Amino acid sequence: MAKFDPSTIVLTGASGGIGTALALEYATPGRHLVLIARDPHRLDMLAENVRRKGAEAETAALDIRDRAALHAFLAEADARRPVDLLIANAGVTAGLGAGRSREPDDASDRQFEINFRGTVNTITGLVEQMRARRRGHIALVASLAGLRALPDMPSYSASKAAVISYGHSLRGWLAADGVGVTILCPGFVTSPMSARHKGAKPFEITAEDAARRMRRAIERQRSLHAFPFLLATGIRLQGILPPRLSDYFMKPFAAEIEDDPRFRD
């Protein structure tokens, strides 16, 4: 199978660690990148860096929770330049409350609204256009935590598990329409989000390394790519263990997640 080589790419969560690395990974001459995030200043800086590498870039400061605004922008952007690759990358993380108390309600709600509903909003904004053209590819950025939940991150793990399930369903639905789907499940990736994770982060890789692995998986149109290999293999093996034994092996992953400064009152 020939490598998938998109010319027009939409990327959400573009101003974050993985998002920025993905934008720069795809920034080559002849490509047009549509970069979406909430922070216009960081988007503008990223767009300049993308252009320096020879690609074209446009930006949209949007909150993917605003479905109407997001859909309107995506429809207009696709009408100008049909989108070949949509990367639903935007996501946030949080953990338990103080003293290992239950998760704050607003933090739990936010993770489902952005990580899952925001992903759905992003994909539904372009999927019918891709189906009509009978071409295109959708990549969903999930997490290894969606394959095996982290005990200190209940809503994050559940929201990413929902993204994985949604991606599997999309792949089955869209196969007959010529639209491909890749689910990406990274482990620990060095980023501002990861910096708030105070605990063990085995096999942590750089955002640039993660972006290269993601690009290769999309090029090969893989159905699901979980990485790094050793950590992903360990996570998968836990799925065949008795629950109590699996829980025991998850104890070293205990962590405290610092509050996200972007959402402090």
CB 45 within 8 A of CB 59: no
Q: Most distant CA pair in the chain: distance in Å?
A: 54
Q: DSSP character for 205?
A: B
Q: What would the pLDDT profile of 180-218 be if each residue is shown by its tens digit?
A: 999 999 999 999 998 999 999 999 999 999 999 999 999
- The fold for domain 8-263 equals Rossmann fold (3.40.50)
Supply the pTM of this predicted model.
Answer: 0.96
Q: For position 20, what pLDDT does the model report?
A: 98
Residue 141 reports pLDDT greater than 90: yes
Domain extent listing, the chain: 8-263
Residue written as token pair 């997490």? 143
Query: Which tokens go with 130?
Result: 């891709």
Provide the pLDDT confidence category of residue 166 given band limits of 50, 70 and 90: very high
261 vs 184, residue with greater confidence: 184
d(CA 10, CA 70): 12
**Residue in 26, 156, 166, 248 annotated catalytic:** 156
Return mean pLDDT, the chain.
Answer: 96
Q: What would the pLDDT profile of 15-52 be if each residue is shown by its tens digit?
A: 989 999 999 999 999 999 999 999 999 999 999 999 99
Pairing of strands 255-257, 197-199: antiparallel
Note if 156 is an active site residue. yes
